[in-house]
């Protein structure tokens, strides 16, 4: 059974999609074994508690340097014997130590069709503001592996979502979450859990 950590910073709607998917029995090869938050007030922690999932908080501001923060995240993941890491609205950048500890085992969901509207500075509503300003007719979401370049890792899954006349960044954000992010992230969790489980059983 692949042990999964979900890293969060806020409300945890993507986390909830993963919890619901697992609860429905759709991820037989994996189990969400830890929810790690970068913010002790994140509502995602409450979602985890309601689902009886262990939690941890590692705040960037509690550490003198990015390296010290990275080390604390890595140690927490390793202490919990984590095999797969899912970033679900995690607003802190992960550094080399974490990435090297989990090569091609960290995935992130980004609210656009990479390579559009991605990279440093593109997060949350900023992505949708940029898409609307450009006048695109289609946006969507991408699940990709995490490497040292923001949004630069290999793409795993993508799903397109129509941009409609009159969309605001908030409306587009909600549609992409509902139609793409909450669909893709659980699919990616299942796909990688199965692949890693088979790899470990060879």
pLDDT in tens, 181-194: 999 999 999 999 99
Query: Considering only CA atoms, which of 81, 96, 97, 109 is closest in space to residue 7?
Result: 109
Q: Is residue 164 part of a domain?
A: no
Residue 162 forms part of a structural domain: no
pLDDT of the residue at 81: 98
For residue 98, tell me if it sits in a domain: yes
pTM for this structure? 0.94
In a domain, 173, yes or no: no
117 in a structural domain: no
Separation CA 164–CA 152 (nearest Å): 28
Residue 84 located in a structural domain:
yes
**Weakest-pLDDT range from 85-89, 118-122, 162-166:** 118-122
Q: Is residue 188 in some structural domain? A: yes
Structurally, the chain folds into a number of domains equal to 1
What are the φ and ψ backbone dihedral angles of 146, each rounded to 5 degrees?
-100, 130
> Which domain, by its residues, includes 28?
2-109+143-155+180-200
Q: Which residues are catalytic?
A: 110
In a domain, 118, yes or no: no
The CATH number of residue 67's host domain is 3.40.50.170
pLDDT recorded at residue 202 = 64
Rounded average pLDDT over 169-198: 97
């Amino acid at each position: 059974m692949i042990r999964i950590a979900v890293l969060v910073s806020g409300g945890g709607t993507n986390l909830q999609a993963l919890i619901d998917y697992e609860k429905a029995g759709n991820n037989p090869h994996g189990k969400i074994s830890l929810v790690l938050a970068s913010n002790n007030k994140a509502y995602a922690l409450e979602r985890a508690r309601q689902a009886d999932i262990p939690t941890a908080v590692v705040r960037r501001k509690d550490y003198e340097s990015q390296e010290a923060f990275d080390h604390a995240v890595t140690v927490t993941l390793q202490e919990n014997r984590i095999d797969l890491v899912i970033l679900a609205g995690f607003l802190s950048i992960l550094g080399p130590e974490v990435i090297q500890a989990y090569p091609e085992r960290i995935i992130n969901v980004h609210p656009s069709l990479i390579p559009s509207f991605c990279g440093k500075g593109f997060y949350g509503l900023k992505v949708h503001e940029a898409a609307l300003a450009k006048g695109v007719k289609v946006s969507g979401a991408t699940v990709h592996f995490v490497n040292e370049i923001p949004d630069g890792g290999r793409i795993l899954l993508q799903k397109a979502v129509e941009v409609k006349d009159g969309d605001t960044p908030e409306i587009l954000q909600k549609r992409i979450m509902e139609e793409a992010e909450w669909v893709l992230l659980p699919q990616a969790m299942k796909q990688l859990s199965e692949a890693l489980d088979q790899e470990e059983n060879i």
